[in-house]
Amino acid sequence: MRLRTGFVLREICGEKVLSAEGKDVIDFSKLVRLNDTSAYLWEALEGKDFDAEMMCALLCDRYEVAPERALEDSRKLIQQFVDLHLVEQQ
């Protein structure tokens, strides 16, 4: 899967948010707030094909977290991204 294009990660009033830009996402009417970890993953994965295992590796490289926990959290975040239509599944 891949992150959808047309979303820009910004910092607004100290919060990291995704905002939609361009006509491909013109109907997207909400901002999506990301915590620091999900914003880190968004930036690390932009323009790349990825899966839960890749996200897990990124988390384990950056944070002191057990691989099992990182993989579980990665799967949950991917599902949230899918639910919000922020990813394209190939």
pLDDT tens digits for range 38-73: 999 999 999 999 999 999 999 999 999 999 999 999
Cα–Cα distance measured from residue 14 to residue 65, given in angstroms and rounded to the nearest whole number: 25
63/90: higher pLDDT? 63
Starting at the edge strand found earlier in the chain, the sheet holding 15-20 runs: 7-12, 15-20, 32-34
CA distance between the termini of the chain: 5
Task: Give me the residue spans of the domains in the chain.
Answer: 2-88
What is the DSSP-derived secondary structure letter of residue 13?
A: T
CB 2 within 8 A of CB 82: no
Say if domain 2-88 classifies as CATH 3.40.50: no
pLDDT computed for residue 81 by the predictor: 95
What are the φ and ψ backbone dihedral angles of 24, each rounded to 5 degrees? -70, -25
